[in-house]
Structure 1
């Protein structure tokens, strides 16, 4: 199942001839947008991911947040959380998270790098969470195995039902004549985790917020993702209207969780 996951994910690669003409990184993320997401989560903490993480967290317990961004999935656990261990490839996002954690008075340890490459220098925590990360992970089994080995009590994942760039599929056909894949999906993540021996429970709901509030924001994002110059934003808006894509339907978010096999020490690495 893991090999199928890898193969399905590889089909999301942008054709080389299109990527070569991209004026900006089509896969890039904005630290400012992630910071806004964290602030919204802090202002109105809610949702099954937060609930499933909080119910497994002992008073003053520790949380490992992999692909933490600016902390939207973990910082709302204050004041129950006693320590946060945050892993991310982006130093800018970790800086945003650190400043918010300081304001909340929660100790935070940051590890910059890609999971599970940095697992051997990351502390074990009571609960491990990874929100909106797995569609960037080719070796999903290794990712989940390392995540589980770093959790004493529970592992919690949050992800969209389909690849987060799926909303762009009609525009890929319109501008480039490219048909994008339908897989992998959240159900494939469940299958991989169950194949590793975990008893996976899950629930889903519509995304709490619309993807875009304004057509202009959609056009700006779509131009970057589609490898188009920003001067083509008006063309994108016209296509979106023609294809009946506005407003963009809300994604369906899945929360998956399973219990960790047992307690471990609070030092890096696996235990014996």
Structure 2
């Protein structure tokens, strides 16, 4: 299953000829945008991912957040945590997380790097969570194995049902003649985890928010992801209308969990 996952994920790569013309990193993420999502999560904590973490977390327990970003999947539990261990490859993301953790009075340890490369230098915790990370992970079995080794009680994952860039597939075909794949999906993650011997619980729900609030926001994001300049935003918006893509349907999110052995 892991080899199938790796092969399917590789199909989402951007051809070199297209990537070479990109005016900005098509895979980049903005710490400021992630911080907005974390602030919304702090203002209105909800959903099965937080619930699955909370029910396995002892009073004053520790949470390991892998691919933590700015802390949306863990900081809403500030009142229950004794310590947060946050792992992310972006120093900017970790800085935003630390400032919020400090304001909330949550002791935090940060580890900069990719998981599982930094697993050896990362402490174990009562609960380990990785939210919206796995579609960036070619070696999923190794990622999940180290996550499980670092969780004393439970592992919790949150992810979209389909690849998070799937919404762009009609635009890739329109602008580049590139047909994007339909796999992997959350069901493939479940299969890999089960092949590792885990009894996986799962819950599916609508994403709490629409992906974009305005067409202009969609157009700006699409240009970066499609390796187009921002001078083509109007052209992208016109294509969205022509392809009847707006409003984008809400994503479905999966929460997966299993108990540590």
TM-score, normalised relative to structure 1: 0.96
> C-alpha separation between the residues in 1 aligned to 2:214 and 2:242?
17
Aligned-pair CA distance for 1:78: 1.3
Q: CA offsets per residue over residues 195-222 of structure 1, 9 Å max, x none?
A: 0000000001000000000100000000
Please name the residue that 2:148 is paired with: 148
2:41 is aligned with 1:41: yes
The aligned counterpart of 2:69 is 69
DSSP 3-state at the match of 1:55: helix
Within 5 A, what are the aligned runs for 1:207-246?
Answer: 207-246=207-246
Q: State how far apart, in whole Å, the 2-side matches of 1:89 and 1:2 are.
A: 23
Quick one: distance in 1 between partners of 2:121 and 2:15?
36
- Following the alignment from structure 1 to structure 2, what is the Cα–Cα distance between the partners of residues 140 and 156? 14
Deviation at 1:179, TM superposition (A): 0.2
Tell me which residue corresponds to 2:167.
167
Aligned residue for 1:127?
Answer: 127
The Cα of 1:24 is off from its aligned counterpart by 0.4
Report deviation, 1:32: 0.4
Match of 2:15 in 1: 15
* Alpha-carbon distance in structure 1 between the residues aligned to 2:215 and 2:247: 8
**C-alpha distance in 2 between matches for 1:134 and 1:234:** 32
The 2-side partners of 1:205 and 1:253 are apart by 5
| Distance in 2 of aligned mates of 1:131 and 1:217 | 23
1:184 maps to 184
User: What CA distance in whole angstroms lies between the structure 2 residues aligned with 1:217 and 1:117?
Assistant: 34
Q: Paired residue for 2:93?
A: 93
Distance 1:105 1:234 in 2: 45
Distance 1:238 1:49 in 2: 37
Q: In the aligned structure 1, how far is the partner of 2:16 from the partner of 2:123? A: 39
Q: Distance in 1 between matches of 2:81 and 2:38?
A: 16
SS at match of 1:71: coil
Mapped to 2, the partners of 1:227 and 1:106 lie a distance apart of 39
SS at match of 1:255: strand
Shift of 1:254: 0.1
Paired with 1:159 and 1:22, the residues of 2 have a C-alpha distance of: 27
Please name the residue that 2:254 is paired with: 254
SS at match of 1:123: coil
Please give the secondary structure, in 1, of the residue aligned with 2:56. Answer: coil
Task: Deviation per CA, 1:231-259: give whole Å up to 9, x if none.
Answer: 11110000001111001111100000000
1:9-66 CA-partner distances (Å, limit 9, x unpaired): 0000001110110000000000000000100000000000000000000000000000
